[in-house]
A and B are shown apart, each in its own frame.
Chain A
Amino acid sequence: MILTPKILARIVAIVLLGVLLQLSFFSRVELLHTSPDVLPALVVALALLGGGMAGAVIGFSVGLLVAALVGEVLGLTSLVLLTTGYLAGAYRERADIFGVLMPALLCMGFTIFAEAGYAVMQLVLGVDASISALVLRDLLLKGIYAFFLGAPIYVGVRRLLRSALVEDRAVRRSSQPTVLGA
């Protein structure tokens, strides 16, 4: 990804919009008693386009913003999302992404990873309450929702950042029409 001030502004806008939508919409709707969590999918989508470092920085920022807005302990969500973003970006650096099914599957996998990571961190820090088995159901359903929301998020983010993507530039250059007789 080629970072220009314009692209940076777009990424900031995407992150702010994603966080606001999560807190004001997705966290407050329920399907089968579980709210979707689009933030890991958003971080994964940006990491798949920008690479490991971009994923880590964006994951950290998203986590910090969310924790500050809902009054959680700072650093925990950041740590989980920066790891998620870095791993998703690192995967992208080693393998190619085809179609929209693959990003959707990656969003699902990394959302389950992020939710499980968050749960493990909470348990490591100590939870002063009993834990319901419904936590597992919530984790799996969040993964399934991420699968369905992951594809449109990836496509949307990719569209918004298209001008900064190296491969898209290469494709556009190679598909320039040849001028006959030139």
Chain B
Amino acid sequence: MYRKQVRRRRAVLALLVLGSFALLTATYGKGAGGFGEGVSTVFSPVQGVVDRALKPARDFVNWFDETLEARGENDRLREQLAEARALAVAGQVARQENDQLRELAGLRRSGAIPPGYEPVAARVIARSPTLWYASVTIDAGRRDGVRVDDPVVSGEGLAGRVTAVTGGAAQVTLITDPAAGSAVSGRVVPGGVQGIVRAEVGDPDELILDFIDSARLVGRGSTVVTAGWRSDDFASLYPPNLPIGEVTEASIREQEASQTVHLRPFADMRDLDLLQVLTGGWRG
């Protein structure tokens, strides 16, 4: 009797382990697929309700974290404020000139959203519990016109792209996800140096601009935007000029040796709440 129990126990355990490996093999590199979509379809309405119900509690806990962080950042922010004031004045002048030039050239004043794209607002309803997958679930889906590979932006800049979509929800893989498919073609402004923006596992405040031209040095404080290339057959998933981040570390040695610079994403990946999915666009 005891032996039979042990045998049965081992069989169930082996079945579960084999099942895990089989699922891993079947879905590796593809995500959760149809099963994930089915589960997400069932759970997304409940998740939406739970998300709204728990928002006050979430804000309360995050308030503690932000207060602790704010105390340390106060001095640094005072210095930055002085710099930012000067930059804001310069920026207003530049913007005025830019507007005038755009009007002169007859270009469309596009603002933050590139022409041809229809933004769809969505709320984050769930987030991956592990650092190894930077993904969130949003409450907009196929019914709202969202499709796989649509770019997703927050109020500050590029956040990621849609990787799976159901009727009423979609999964967004963030640009801080370490998977190869999350890399973005980036361009440094000013300067025009191009490279690939990649994540660093474990630190959502850090991105790496890789494969840059080591002959053209990038300066600290430069802005990185999406390159948005397009050819006859292929096109980048992201439209051009979506802000990605600011270069925070750009040593000459590192640029020459490994052709990389470090940047901080504009979008606060730790605290995404409202996002915009850019539907339509040049993919039609």
Question: Which residues of A line the B interface, CB within 8 A?
Answer: 20-33, 35, 37, 39, 52-53, 56-57, 60, 63-79, 82, 86, 115, 118-119, 122, 125, 127-135, 138
Contacts and interface: CB of A to CB of B under 8 A. Distances in A.
Given A69-B126, A71-B31, A132 B23 contact: no
Contacts of B125: 24
A90 B126 CA distance: 33
A53 to B, nearest CB: 6
Contacts of A71: 31-32, 36, 40, 133, 135, 137, 163-164, 171, 173
A23 B24 contact: no
A84 to B, nearest CB: 12
A132 B200 contact: yes
Contact of A132 (B50, B51, B198, B201): B201
A57 B16 CA distance: 7
Nearest to B132: A122
A74 B206 contact: no
Contact of B13 (A25, A37, A56, A78): A56
Nearest to B273: A28
Contacts of B178: 127-129
A13 to B, nearest CB: 13
A70 B135 contact: yes
Contacts of B133: 70-72
B270 interface: yes
Contacts of A119: 132
B84 interface: no
A32 B65 contact: yes
5 contacts: A29-B62, A69-B126, A73-B24, A129-B199, A134-B202
B26 A53 contact: no
Contacts of A52: 9
Interface string B188-210: 00000000001111110010100
A127 B198 CA distance: 12
A73 B27 contact: yes
A74 B129 contact: no
B261 to A, nearest CB: 13
Interface in B8-66: 9, 12-13, 16-17, 19-33, 35-36, 38-40, 43, 46-47, 50-51, 54, 57-58, 61-62, 64-65
A67 B179 contact: no
B131 interface: yes
Contacts of B54: 21, 24-25
B201 A135 contact: yes
Contacts of B16: 56-57, 60, 78, 82
Contacts of A82: 16-17, 20
A35 B38 CA distance: 27
Contacts of B163: 71
Given A78-B20, A128-B178, A129-B198, A37 B43 contact: no
Given A27-B129, A132-B200, 10 more contacts: A20-B47, A28-B124, A70-B128, A71-B40, A71-B164, A72-B135, A79-B17, A82-B20, A128-B179, A134-B203
B31 to A, nearest CB: 5
Contacts of A29: 58, 61-62, 65
Contacts of B47: 20, 23-24, 69
A73 B27 CA distance: 6
Given A82-B16, A129-B201, A130-B208, A73 B32 contact: yes
A25 B129 contact: no
Interface centre among B38, B128, B163, B200 (most CB of A within 10 A): B128
B235 to A, nearest CB: 22
Nearest to A122: B132
Nearest to A31: B65
B209 to A, nearest CB: 12
B173 to A, nearest CB: 8
Nearest to B130: A118
